[in-house]
Amino acid sequence: MRISKRSSRCTCAMTDFCILLIQIRSGILNTVFNSNCLKLERSRTGHPLQTVVLLLLLSLPNSVDLSHQLAKLQLTEEKMKILVPIFHPSQVTTIDVSQLHQDSHTRSVLVKSIHHACQEMGFFKVINHGISKTVTESAIGSLSNFFDLPMDQKKLFSSDDLSKPVRFVTNSRDSIKLYANPIENWIDLWPHNPTDFRESLGRYAAEVKRLSIDIIGAIVESLGLGPTYLRSSLGQGMQMIVGSRYPRCSSSSSILGISSHTDHSIITIILESTSGVEIMDFADSNAWKSVPATDGTLKVLVGNHLEILSNGLYKSVFHRVVPNPERNRISIGSFLSLPMEEIMEPAMELVDEQHPKRYKASSLDEYIKFLSSKEEKSYIEGLKI
């Protein structure tokens, strides 16, 4: 393993607090230098890592055999893992959903935070969202039991047709897509093995749909559109549930669970058994940063159809998934959109002479057709005017 330093001058003293951004991919350690100064991020436990990392880096000539250095410093894979960059907690907005229903002042403070998070980061976390641990744990548990089934049973749900309401796919992860709203239209197509699959996943799907509608209410308000904007359509909106299992994979492997993409939805809500989501920080030279999973917390991501609605004020967030080196990772993404044929277009209230329409109208149906085409441009790029 070899590394070349872009700058050999480090202006930091050993005692300085700097942030070192290290990414371990393809067995290569990339150090990112900022203003000629090593930047050192706090570990997940909150302890600065400058001693160990600066010892490592200050001992490096321009090009060194890093494995040897790591061995010398006894930097095991376990220790290296905590060096993957994470968003500083102060950068990540956490919305206490229970407070959205308190007095109007409290709501408007939260709506402002949501506006900031959607505009600056493209995602936020939610706590006190009203979905109980029993519901989330049994959804994750049933899904995990489904993935444990022999491949021939899971493959009963495989298809080349991307528009199938239930579709199992196996590649760098196992995943199953389930259309989920209105649930009575689809649930009979879902797997019935394990026997509690429909009940556990169905319950979670219903609760996360309610939560999504609530959050979209606050998001449209944050755009100045009034909290009931879209609401009547969303009740009948298309909700896709995508359950995934990412096999445990060494952190030195180059395999990604899912590569960089944006979601088609208005918003996506992610429930996960363990960390793995990385978000592109466009305020920091498009660096990939992880957003560690925390118990009881869900992640909310801005999707393409919200980018369209907001006329580009909120951008759909680039994200990817990195497998966990210690255990399999199970996640459940809930993607809420308007009903299949209904078009999403920039809100008229956000379009004027200074802010001309920046996106063509598009429906979910068109997105699915787009997926089946071999178009090179991304869906959202193709809609830009």
Ligand X SMILES: O=C(O)CCC(=O)C(=O)O
Site residues (CB under 6 A) for ligand X? 242, 244, 258, 263, 270, 272, 276-277, 319, 321, 331, 333
Q: Which of residues 294-353 bind Fe ion (CB under 5 A)?
A: none
The least distance separating Fe ion from the CB of residue 261, rounded to whole angstroms, comes to 6
The least distance separating Fe ion from the CB of residue 244, rounded to whole angstroms, comes to 10
The three-state secondary structure class of 229 is coil
Number of CB atoms found within 10 A of residue 72's CB: 11
Q: Does 278 bind Fe ion (CB under 5 A)?
A: no
Strands of 121-276, DSSP E: 123-127, 166-170, 174-179, 238-246, 258-261, 267-272
The least distance separating Fe ion from the CB of residue 8, rounded to whole angstroms, comes to 39
Taking the C-alpha atoms of residue 226 and residue 320, their distance in angstroms, rounded to an integer, is 32
The least distance separating ligand X from the CB of residue 12, rounded to whole angstroms, comes to 35
Nearer to ligand X, 203 or 319 (CB): 319
User: ∠322-87-308 over CA atoms, to 5°?
Assistant: 80
Q: Does 272 bind Fe ion (CB under 5 A)?
A: no
Taking the C-alpha atoms of residue 235 and residue 213, their distance in angstroms, rounded to an integer, is 8
Cis before 323 (ω within 30): no
Residue 369 structure tokens: 């057709």
The least distance separating Fe ion from the CB of residue 362, rounded to whole angstroms, comes to 18
Question: What crossing angle do the helices spanning 197-222 and 104-120 adopt, rounded to 10°?
Answer: 90
CA dihedral 123, 124, 125, 131 (to 10 degrees): -70
Q: Does 41 bind Fe ion (CB under 5 A)?
A: no
| From the list Fe ion, ligand X, none, partner contacted by residue 207 (C-beta under 5 to 8 A by kind) | none
Taking the C-alpha atoms of residue 187 and residue 198, their distance in angstroms, rounded to an integer, is 7
Nearer to ligand X, 258 or 302 (CB): 258
Nearer to ligand X, 93 or 331 (CB): 331
Place of tokens 């909150």: 46
Nearer to Fe ion, 74 or 259 (CB): 259
Interaction pattern, residues 120-149, with Fe ion; x per rule: CB under 5 A: ------------------------------
Nearer to ligand X, 22 or 242 (CB): 242
Q: Does 263 bind Fe ion (CB under 5 A)?
A: yes
Nearer to ligand X, 10 or 322 (CB): 322
Footprint on this chain of Fe ion (rule: CB under 5 A): 263
